[in-house]
């Protein structure tokens, strides 16, 4: 049995979700017989980690600081093995611009996009290029911050008149924004579990929004406002393709342990597009990864046990060379 430092909370916009993920994981780790020290991460993190004398850290953080490679880098420096992806993969996943370029370069379909920094607008007059972008992407256009999460700051612009407001909203979350082609269709997620060399894709989850034309932050976390179906009702071919793209994205971005790949299935063409990869997806009992694992016969405790084993296995393989 291990001495586990459970990292949760933090100061990101997804703090509340992280606290819930952390509480579920903590209960599970204790059921599995581990000794757990829960740490709400803050400026005293290093001291608290040292006091915890942990063998391994379980990182149940989402968003900035916890999911973007910052905590991972620190844990690497401290020599403490931890769950999930390392700094490089976290950095790539957290920044949708970097992730989408990597996916596109690897031939993994992702909706067409243009990305701009605040400096492009302020210093280079990028606003003058908006009509050309609008002509290429066609309305509606999706406007989102590069480093988002939980649909925060995402707006659908139905016409040119909506674009400035959508940009302002997205820029309130990040200094870089994406204008992306809207894919009309079904919202799918494929969770991936396993070591870098042999990851496996779990059953596809479909998120079905109720009444809402957009699946937003509130819809996502208010019970009953979104229905999840797992496994999603898809033909074998689409399922196989979703698995293939998710595994491709996981490998391409260098993920380790677990991740969740969000996709859209375009209604008009039947084509799948990868929207993003979440390096640390939600781990509450009703989150998508735990639901998918459950559908594959892996209950929450078995999932937590596997994620922890992978963390320790990575340490051994690193030590071995």
Instruction: Tell me which residues touch ligand ADP (CB under 6 A).
Output: 111, 142, 148-151, 154, 180-183, 187, 215, 262, 264, 275-276
Query: Other C-beta atoms within 10 Å of 40: how many?
Result: 17
Q: For residues 49 and 97, is the Cβ–Cβ distance under 8 A? A: no
The minimum distance between CB 59 and ligand ADP, in angstroms, equals 18
Structure tokens at 277: 């990869």
Which DSSP string corresponds to 92-108?
Answer: HHH-HHHHHHHHHHTT-
Q: In this complex, which beta carbon is closest to ligand ADP, that of residue 81 or of residue 153?
A: 153
CA distance 293 to 270: 25
The minimum distance between CB 145 and ligand ADP, in angstroms, equals 8
Which of 31, 32, 41 has its CA nearest to residue 11? Answer: 41
The minimum distance between CB 286 and ligand ADP, in angstroms, equals 16
Residue 154: name its binding partner from Mg ion, ligand ADP, none (Cβ under 5 to 8 Å by kind). Answer: ligand ADP
Binding site for Mg ion (CB under 5 A): 262
Closest residue to Mg ion, based on beta-carbon distance? 262
Q: In this complex, which beta carbon is closest to ligand ADP, that of residue 82 or of residue 173?
A: 173
Residue 68: name its binding partner from ligand ADP, Mg ion, none (Cβ under 5 to 8 Å by kind). Answer: none
Catalytic sites, residue numbers: 14, 150, 221, 260, 262, 276, 278, 282
Q: In this complex, which beta carbon is closest to Mg ion, that of residue 95 or of residue 262?
A: 262
Which DSSP string corresponds to 248-265?
Answer: HHHHHHT--EEEEEEEEE
47, burial (CB in 10 Å: exposed 0-12, middle 13-18, buried 19+): exposed
The minimum distance between CB 154 and ligand ADP, in angstroms, equals 5
């Amino acid at each position: 049995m291990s001495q586990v430092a459970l990292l949760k909370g933090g100061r990101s916009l997804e703090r509340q979700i992280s606290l819930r993920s952390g509480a579920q994981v903590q209960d599970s780790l204790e059921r599995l017989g581990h000794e757990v020290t829960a740490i709400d991460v803050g400026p005293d993190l290093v001291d608290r980690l040292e006091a915890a004398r942990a063998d391994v850290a379980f990182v149940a953080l989402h968003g900035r600081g916890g999911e973007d490679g910052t905590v991972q880098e620190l844990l690497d420096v401290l020599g403490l093995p931890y769950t999930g992806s390392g700094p490089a993969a976290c950095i790539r996943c957290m920044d949708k611009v970097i992730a989408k370029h990597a996916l596109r370069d690897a031939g993994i379909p992702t909706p067409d996009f243009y990305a701009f920094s605040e400096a492009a607008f302020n210093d280079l007059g990028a606003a003058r290029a908006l009509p050309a972008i609008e002509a290429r992407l066609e309305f509606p256009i999706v406007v989102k911050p590069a480093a988002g999460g939980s649909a925060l700051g995402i707006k659908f612009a139905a016409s040119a008149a909506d674009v400035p407001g959508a940009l302002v909203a997205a820029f309130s979350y990040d200094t870089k924004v994406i204008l992306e082609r809207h894919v009309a269709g079904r919202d799918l997620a494929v969770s991936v579990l396993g070591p870098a060399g042999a990851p496996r894709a779990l059953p596809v989850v479909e998120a079905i929004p109720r009444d809402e034309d957009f699946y937003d932050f509130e819809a996502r976390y208010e019970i009953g406002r979104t229905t999840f179906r797992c496994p999603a009702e898809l033909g074998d071919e689409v399922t196989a393709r979703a698995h293939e793209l998710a595994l491709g994205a996981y490998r391409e971005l260098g993920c380790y342990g677990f991740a969740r790949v969000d996709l859209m299935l375009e209604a008009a063409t039947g084509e799948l597009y990868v929207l993003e990869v979440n390096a640390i997806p939600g781990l509450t009992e009703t989150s998508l990864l735990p639901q998918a694992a459950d559908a594959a016969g892996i209950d929450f405790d078995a999932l937590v046990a596997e994620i922890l084993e992978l963390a320790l296995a990575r340490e051994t393989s690193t030590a071995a060379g």
